[in-house]
Amino acid sequence: MSLARFYAYAGFLLVFQLSGCAVVSLIERPAPDKKPQADKPMGKPPMSTPTLTVPPQPVVAPPAAPAPPTADSPAKPAPAPTPAPKPAPAPAHKPDPAPLPPPAPAPVPPASTEITPGLQSLATHPDDYRQDAARHLYHHYSHRIYKGKLPPLLKSVGVVEVVIGPKGQVLNINWWRAPRHAEVTREIENLILNAGPYPAPVKLRKVTYTETWLWHDSGRFQLDTLTEGQK
């Protein structure tokens, strides 16, 4: 179909629909009213403006002031005064307790007979142990050792045999040649006993060794095992 024929056909349909609508409107239009025009209101009625209704606010009255007392009204009694707090009773004085007696002094523990760590001798012969015992005596009495060579004449010379137990304790002292002076003999014995315990003979368990004491007039000495000799 050409474009001209399409527009012509569309225009025909449009005219047909408009004409049909006009006929229908003429048929359905009601007959005019015979009443005078004065009874009908002219124009559109005015539009009413909606009003907003505000709910009434409650009126809060201020609190009424207390009415002054009158002669007829009974007077209220005054509040009773609060009693003052009673002071706490003073604590009763207690007598001071009697002083405790001083504690008794702790008993002094006995000297330990255990082997001191590091104070051991690995000697396997009495001659070797004599070296360890002589060093022990020199270390214990370093202030009593005569320094240098001894003079030709000495005050005393003594040869003693010492028995040492497995824990380094002195078990016995035997003199093979005692000094000529008794006080020197007693002093040498005290020096031997007070130097204990000696190095424990861990391999010999019990050892007997012999030592020669060279005694100077000043009270100092040397041991023949570690002596520096004589002039």
- DSSP secondary structure string, 51-107? PPPPPPPPPPPPPPPPPPP-SSSPPPPPPPPPPPPPPPPPPPPPPPPPPPPPPPPPP
Average pLDDT, the chain: 76
pLDDT tops 70 at residue 221: yes
Question: Mean pLDDT across the stretch 12-36?
Answer: 56
Residue-level pLDDT at 113: 41
pLDDT tier at 68, thresholds 50, 70, 90: low
Question: Mean pLDDT across the stretch 209-217?
Answer: 97
More confident residue, 150 or 63: 150
Contacts of residue 45, Cβ cutoff 8 Å, sequence gap at least 6: none
Residue-level pLDDT at 111: 38
Any idea which of 27-31, 85-89, 193-197 has the lowest mean pLDDT?
27-31
Residue-level pLDDT at 109: 42
Residue-level pLDDT at 67: 59
Considering the domain 120-223 in this protein, what is its CATH number?
Answer: 3.30.1150
Residue-level pLDDT at 13: 74
Q: Are 168 and 115 in contact (CB under 8 A)?
A: yes
More confident residue, 25 or 5: 5
Domain boundaries, the chain: 120-223
Question: Mean pLDDT across the stretch 19-41?
Answer: 50
pTM higher than the cut 0.75: no
pLDDT tier at 58, thresholds 50, 70, 90: low
d(CA 172, CA 189): 10
Nearest to 199 by CA among 111, 140, 141: 140
More confident residue, 217 or 47: 217
- Residue range 158-178, pLDDT digits in tens: 999 999 999 999 999 999 999
- Residue range 82-129, pLDDT digits in tens: 666 666 666 565 656 666 666 665 554 443 344 445 589 999 999 999
pLDDT tier at 18, thresholds 50, 70, 90: low
State the CB neighbour count (10 A cutoff) for residue 201.
25
